[in-house]
């Protein structure tokens, strides 16, 4: 199911496959995975065109977007299918996490 409005993040169905790209986008997408909360559960899982499978549930980003466990896989292995609009949403999520992390560190008493 492809959903590209602002409620969703990387709900795409990649058709091309590239050499895995390990760059700042991939690292940050992997970091974002640790910030996601489990959303709606399903009986089955989504299978990528390359055979990779997702977890059988949605994941919710810190900004409330719905995504899935293949988010970093798509950035790493299917970059050509990721639109600029999806990268902008990913960037917004990453910046939000960085800002939250910075604020939490500011509020932590230094010993």
Binding interface with Zn ion (CB under 5 A): 48, 50, 52
Q: Specify the residue, 33 or 48, whose C-beta has the smaller distance to Zn ion.
A: 48
CB of 84 to Zn ion, least distance (A): 20
Min dist CB 17 to Zn ion, Å, is 7
Given the complex with Zn ion, which of 51 and 109 has the nearer CB atom? 51
Read out DSSP for the chain? --B-STTBSSB-------S---SHHHHHHHHHHTT-EEEEE-SS--B-TTS-B--SEEEE-TTS-EE-TTHHHHHHH-GGGS-HHHHHHHHHHHHHHHHHHHHHHHHSPP-
Nearer to Zn ion, 50 or 85 (CB): 50
């Amino acid at each position: 199911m492809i959903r590209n409005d602002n409620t969703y993040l990387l709900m795409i169905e990649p058709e091309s496959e590239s050499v895995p790209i390990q760059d700042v986008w991939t690292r940050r997408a992997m970091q974002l995975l640790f910030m996601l909360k489990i959303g709606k559960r399903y009986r089955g899982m989504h299978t990528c065109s390359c055979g990779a499978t997702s977890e059988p549930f949605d994941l919710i980003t810190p900004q409330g977007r719905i995504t899935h466990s293949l988010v970093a896989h798509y950035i790493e292995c299917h970059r050509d299918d990721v639109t600029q609009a999806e990268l902008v949403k990913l960037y917004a999520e990453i910046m939000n996490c960085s800002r939250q992390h910075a604020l939490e560190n500011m509020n932590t008493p230094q010993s």
